[in-house]
Chain A
Amino acid sequence: MRTPAETAPNRPAAAVDNGLPLQVAVIGAGPSGCYAAQALRKGQPDIEIAVFDALPTPFGLVRYGIAPDHQGAKAVSRQFERLFGQPGVEFVGNVSVGTDVSLEALLENFHAVVLATGLGTDRRLGIDQDPDARVIGAGDLIRLLNSDPDARLRHRHGGPESLGSEVVILGTGNVSADVARLLSKSDLDFIASDVDDDALRAVAPNPVRTIHILGRCEPHAAKWDASMVKELAEIVGVHLSVDGVPLLGEPAASPRTTVSVRFQHVPISVRRLDGRVRVTTRRAGDSALVDHLDADTVITALGFDPSPAQSAQFGGVEASNVFRVGGPATGRLGNLAENRKLAADAAKGVLEFLRGQEPLHRTGLVGLRDRLPASVVSFEAWQRIDGAEVRRARPDRCRTKFTTRDELLAAAAGSGALVSIPTATPEAIDTTGEVK
């Protein structure tokens, strides 16, 4: 048990740079970056931290990756709001490290740099797959329904399209359960959420009628939490079965959405067939048992990888004062609790490293100010975005997010002239669907 003296917040700081504070840059304002910053401040309260993000908004996957109908889980952002409310912690939004400002410039101005850039891309299936079969990533879909301005599905030619009435979801983790839940809920089930209603109506004009969830593993090895599957089964109008056995007994009336989970189905090919998609699987342990499943869309929920841009930018970076947290450290995106713990461990390592160093002169964000783009979004500017989104929310939604960077930046500037803001032009979009 620690005594009051031991837990007192102002232990003497390491005598670096004649009493000037240690300067740390965190790249990525998602949960891992914020947790790392929080732990650094708890360990060394006078440390100065600048948290950079390529988006104009903080909180990363808390804002764009946690499902919009799970507002309770999104409440961790209140911790991070408190973090950025402290003097010495800055949000540096809408600044892409590697493009707007170089990693070298950060290393010149900060004692240490923490890479918390997440994993930006849905893991690919890695099997025989028709390039024009309709296969989308679960992460991309959730980003779209969370109003991520960079969501790939938003920027595809012609905008987001309907997923159809029958979908196959590959993978049995919590992201898979999120997707099945979001696609099977009725409008009433989204009360108090901040789902992007326009995007939801585009991909699912009505709740999807049939959802097949396929897992390679045995049921007990599924990665999702039992509570997530139960939540899905408890949605009014949803009937869920696992390997043919109803989870909550037979439905009273004809269900709106039927969700059938099948384990030990290993996908071997995805083909386009008469405008639909055919998924061929074999039974785990018996390659002779082959099944076909036809659907309108296949959604992969198989984990995440670094985006090509992330790999190019930070993949090979190795320096004693560069640290990694979250996805870049572990290669996987875990839940919040797990990443908080990992970020706390990483922060300990950062502080140990810094305290063992010879004093160096580092000016932090101040030394970088004139090299930052004019469109940088501070935490105060983010709070203007936040307020505007809450004010413009539909009566039965907790917020209605802006869906383009232009709208976000206009709100950050406090501009009321949102109506005339142009949306992304086709020239800004390349053939892979990613914004340049």
Chain B
Amino acid sequence: MTVVHVLYGTESGNAEMVADDIAAAFGDQGYETVTAELTDVDVSDLAAMEIAVFVSSTYGEGGLPETAAPFHDALLTERPDLSGVRFAAFGLGDSIYETFNNAIETIRAALLELGAEQIGTTAKHDAASTTPATELADAWARELLTLMPA
């Protein structure tokens, strides 16, 4: 069975909560899941992942969370060949700021550049909306599950 890696970058913990939800949704469908903060992920391990779900919030002037920035830097420095890696992307942000959800775009662009293939649509949660992030995460993960290899 495919192992789903749910990899998150967070500062206030909301992205971690969403990562837990996504892992739970996949776990309920019988997938083995690994949840890890991006600080604990070695970019050289990425190439071996079949499915990686990236979850990231956005900070400051559209920047990556402190825990995701070193991972992004390493991606661009080490440039692993990610062809064969399928990934999905879930962003969290707050639309009172212009650069709302910029960080997940930054991560996504790097992954695509290195040959990874995105599955599903990029989710962009808006903290200023009335929909809780966990609700969007559940719905989005269910949709993603329909795109998974049987």
Residues of A within 8 A of B (CB): 1-4, 7, 35, 38, 70-73, 75-76, 78-79, 82, 192, 225-227, 230-231, 336-337, 340, 398
Q: Which residues between 12 and 70 of chain B lie within 8 Å of chain A, taking CB atoms?
A: 12-14, 17, 32-36, 40-42, 45, 59-61, 65-66
| A-B residue pair count with CB separations less than 8 angstroms | 69
Q: Decide: B59 and A1 in contact? CB cutoff 8 A.
A: no
* Closest beta carbon of chain B to A185's beta carbon, Å: 12
Which listed residue (A4, A70, A71, A340) contacts B32, Cβ 8 A?
A4
User: Can you list 7 pairs linking A and B with CB atoms under 8 Å apart?
Assistant: A3-B34, A71-B128, A73-B127, A78-B133, A79-B17, A227-B99, A231-B96
B118 at the interface (CB under 8 A from A): no
Contacts of A230 in B (CB 8 A): 98
Majority SS at the chain A contact face:
helix
Residues of A within 8 A of B14 (CB): 75-76, 78-79
Which of B12, B36, B42, B128 is close to A340, meaning CB atoms less than 8 Å apart? B12
Tell whether, in the assembled complex, residue A78 and residue B96 are in contact, meaning their CB atoms are under 8 Å apart. Answer: no
Cα–Cα distance between A176 and B25 once the two chains are bound (Å): 42
The 8 residue pairs across chains A and B that have the minimum distance between CB atoms: A72-B127, A337-B11, A72-B94, A336-B12, A72-B128, A1-B45, A75-B127, A79-B17
Q: In which size bucket is the chain B interface?
A: 20 to 34
The minimal Cβ–Cβ distance linking B104 to chain A, given in whole angstroms, is 16
Contact B132 A78 (CB under 8 A): yes
Q: Does B3 contact A (CB under 8 A)?
A: yes
Name, among B33, B35, B128, the residue most crowded by chain A CB atoms within 10 Å (CB to CB).
B128
Interchain CB contact under 8 A, B36 and A227: no
Bound Cα distance A2, B130 (Å): 35
B41 (CB) vs chain A CBs: closest residue: A1
Q: A82 to chain B: which residues have CB within 8 Å?
A: 17
Alpha-carbon distance between A2 and B41 when the two chains are bound, in angstroms: 8
The distance in angstroms between the C-alpha atoms of A79 and B65, with both chains bound, is: 18
Closest to A338 in B: B11
- On chain B, the residues within 8 Å of A336 by CB distance are 11-12
Point out the residues of chain B lying under 8 angstroms from A340, CB to CB. Answer: 11-13
A76 touches B94 (CB 8 A): no
A227 touches B61 (CB 8 A): yes
Q: Is the interface of B mostly helix, strand, loop or mixed?
A: loop
B60 touches A227 (CB 8 A): yes
B40 touches A227 (CB 8 A): no
Question: Which partner residue on chain A sits nearest B65 by CB separation?
Answer: A337
List of B residues within 8 angstroms of A78 by Cβ: 14, 17, 132-134
For the complex, give the distance between the alpha carbons of A7 and B97 in Å: 35
Contacts of A227 in B (CB 8 A): 60-61, 97, 99
Residues of chain B lying within 8 A (CB to CB) of residue A7: 34-36
Q: How far is the CA of A231 from the CA of B32 in the complex (A)?
A: 43
Contacts of A1 in B (CB 8 A): 36, 40-42, 45
Residues on A with beta carbons closer than 8 Å to the beta carbon of B13: 35, 38, 76, 79, 340
Which chain B residue has the least Cβ–Cβ distance from A398? B130
Determine whether the beta carbon of A75 is less than 8 Å from that of B133.
yes
Q: Say whether B61 contacts A2, CB under 8 Å.
A: no
Which residues of chain A come closer than 8 Å to B61, judged between CB atoms? 226-227
CA distance A337 to B15 in the complex (A): 12
Residue on A with the closest CB to B129?
Answer: A72
By a CB distance below 8 angstroms, the chain A residues around B130 are 192, 398
Contacting A at CB under 8 A, from B94-114, are 94-99
Report the Cα distance A231→B99, complex, angstroms. 12
Residue from B3, B12, B99 in contact with A76 in the complex, judged by beta carbons closer than 8 Å: B12
- Given A71-B127, A75-B133, A340-B11, 12 extra CB contacts under 8 A: A1-B36, A1-B40, A2-B36, A7-B34, A75-B127, A76-B13, A78-B14, A79-B14, A192-B130, A230-B98, A231-B97, A340-B12
Shortest CB-to-CB span from B126 to chain A, Å, is: 8
